[in-house]
Amino acid sequence: MGGYDRDFLRLITEKLNIVDVASSYMHLEKKGGTYWACCPFHHEKTASFHVDEGRQFYHCFGCGVSGNVITLVKEMENVDFGDAVKMLAERANLPLPQASGDDGRTAEIKRKRDTLLKIMNDCAHFYLDNLNSGKAEEHVRYILSRAIPSGVVRAFGLGASLNYSDLPKFLLSKGYSKQDIVDSGAVNEVDGRLSDAQGGRLIFPIINAFDEVVAFGGRALKKTDFAKYKNTKETLIFNKSKTLYNINRLKRLRRAGGLKEVIMVEGYMDTISLHRGGFKNVVASMGTSLTQEQARLLKRYADTVLISYDGDGAGQKANMRGLEILKGEGLEVRVVPLPDGLDPDDVIKKFGPEEYEKCLKNAMPLIDYKMKAARSGYDLGKPEEKIKYVNDALRVVRSAESAAERELLLKGLRDETGISFEALSRDLGKVPAERAERPEERPERAADTADARKKASRFVAAAVLFGADYAKGVDVDGVPFCDDVHRLIAGYVKSKALLGEKITVSEIFDFFEEGTPEYAELCRVLDLNDGENLGGDVQKRYFDDCMRLLVSDRLSKAIDEVKRQYAAADGLEEKRRAAGVLQQLLKQQEKLKSGDIR
């Protein structure tokens, strides 16, 4: 539990309504007494993600994920348990207690993370002071050449590294250990010597969704054999594939009134330029290929992404896989056409925000962009190149999701090439269907290999947990559950009943570690709370059958054990005692067969 006291975690789940928290990440639709949404953890078109307000937990009947408000935030924000608790404590206006020291490894990771964040925050202020020191003439000249107003410079926290040696000296003077400042990624160590990892560059702080500085981007100001832009290496607090530049401002925009769409650009300067032009809903992938984690991060903020990369056709074509990843996560992807050879920053500077707004309005659906990209580089005046283009275009057409869309694309291809619709249709039929590229999914649930006894035990536990009428009055202490998870669930329900307290499934998640077989079995139990699975006469009869099976199994094992004891007994008295016990067990077995299980 991340070192936090269970009572404090219970207080968080009591103060916060999981429906309110979930609503900040997804659109929930109320049906009956519960809420439904398309699962944020796997791609689906029909809602199977269920949020139970009464019992304060969520469960997806598609992929099987389950949890309470803490695990929801942990998954949605892509943070560890401690950070999820921190976020929720702030939301609930609860002071965060010190984590207990029971888990030494957890405490050490938290200490390390807090230290690295302090180091990066101090670095950001150090670089900012450098920029304002009067010694950063080159950096200031570059800022002026890019026409970045002073207010925008301050808003994005731009700074300056003057050399390779000052930052390590500054951090050591603050009392940080050599190991910690190297582990932060802000400083490199080569042959025992420390140097600023961004030495001499213009600094762009990279800030996460919690407004914490986790890394830096640096822009070289002189011609160099090294990369023009350089990011901090990956660390305990920075994973480039899970981070987007300017995500902190995007989060504020969403809280202020929601977002319809997000503009995705490639780098820091495009982000800053668009922000300066009035386009606040912009983030950057920092020059890397889009990842599944970034796609899922974007989906938390909006359903539509406008891709605004450089107006270089070849460059955009190279990013096609990233666009497919976005689409694969259920996002609507539209590509913003820019004048060839220009990037968003160029468009803003040369033509102004109004012209860029026109580009946004002309954003094309991904399938249309793919057709345009297929056309790039071919001379349709040459028959052999026209055939190559048609072959490429037909593969795009084949990937369209509907017959109507394929027909429209074929008609456009006919008009463009002069090849008849019938000929194009015949050739399209020869193009093999390509499976849409999907990034690696959350691992599929393991096949349910439970035997009849375990499934019976699971159903009884679910009926007790969710308060089915036919399960009321059952003495759970006498139920021969075959799994410790089922016994724990039943024990929890009984303890709550004795105390006269409300049953909230959210508490049960605190008993198990995510990723363990026990947690997976809990999710299997929760699968049974689906619609009519626990209600009605059929389910009552099934419950009785399950109880009969469990009791019968226990009696059979007990009878076998007594028979073994009888056979092994040496004395007559021992045999008589065993025979008496056996007789009682056989009577219970006959009674069970007659239908009496209570």
Element (H, E) at 182: helix 178-183
Q: Taking all residues of the chain, what is their mean pLDDT, rounded to a whole number?
A: 86
Sheet containing 29-31: give its strands across.
29-31, 34-37, 49-52, 57-60, 66-67
Mean pLDDT value of segment 191-218: 94
Higher per-residue confidence, 21 vs 82: 21
The answer to whether 99 and 89 are in contact (CB under 8 A) is no
Of 12-26, 354-368, 441-455, which gets the smallest average pLDDT?
441-455
The answer to whether 227 and 238 are in contact (CB under 8 A) is no
Q: Specify the pLDDT at position 356.
A: 94
**Structure confidence at residue 98 as a pLDDT band (50, 70, 90):** low
Q: Is residue 563 over pLDDT 90?
A: no
Q: How far apart are CA 569 and CA 206, in angstroms?
A: 77
Q: Specify the pLDDT at position 445.
A: 64
| Closest C-alpha to 167, from 213, 119, 226, 238 | 119
- Residue 286 half-sphere exposure toward CB, CA atoms < 13 A: 24
CA distances to 422, 423, 486, 537, 596 from 417, in Å? 13, 12, 66, 66, 79
Q: Specify the pLDDT at position 521.
A: 92
Q: Name the percent of the chain lying above pLDDT 90.
A: 43
pTM of the full predicted structure?
A: 0.69
Q: Name the percent of the chain lying above pLDDT 70.
A: 92
Mean pLDDT value of segment 79-91: 85
Q: What is the pLDDT of residues 453-462, one digit of tens each?
A: 999 999 999 9
Q: Is residue 363 over pLDDT 50?
A: yes
Q: How far apart are CA 358 and CA 289, in angstroms?
A: 26
Higher per-residue confidence, 296 vs 93: 93
Mean pLDDT value of segment 503-529: 87
In order of start, what are the domains of the chain with their CATH numbers?
Answer: 6-91 (3.90.580.10), 104-238 (3.90.980.10), 247-355 (3.40.1360.10), 377-430 (no CATH), 452-593 (1.10.860)
Q: Is residue 137 over pLDDT 90?
A: yes
Q: Specify the pLDDT at position 439.
A: 44
Q: Is residue 514 over pLDDT 90?
A: no
Mean pLDDT value of segment 83-108: 76
Q: Specify the pLDDT at position 597.
A: 57
Q: What is the pLDDT of residues 253-279, one digit of tens each?
A: 877 776 789 999 988 999 999 999 999
Of 79-83, 187-191, 301-305, 448-452, which gets the smallest average pLDDT?
79-83
**Structure confidence at residue 196 as a pLDDT band (50, 70, 90):** very high
Q: Specify the pLDDT at position 375.
A: 86
Burial label for 258, CB within 10 Å (0-12, 13-18, 19+), is exposed
Residue appearing with tokens 């010597």 = 193
Q: How far apart are CA 195 and CA 148, in angstroms?
A: 29
Mean pLDDT value of segment 399-406: 86
Mean pLDDT value of segment 418-444: 72
Q: What is the pLDDT of residues 538-552, one digit of tens each?
A: 888 899 899 889 988
Mean pLDDT value of segment 15-23: 92
Q: What is the pLDDT of residues 284-335, one digit of tens each?
A: 988 667 888 888 888 878 889 999 987 655 555 556 778 888 888 888 899 9
Q: Specify the pLDDT at position 105.
A: 65
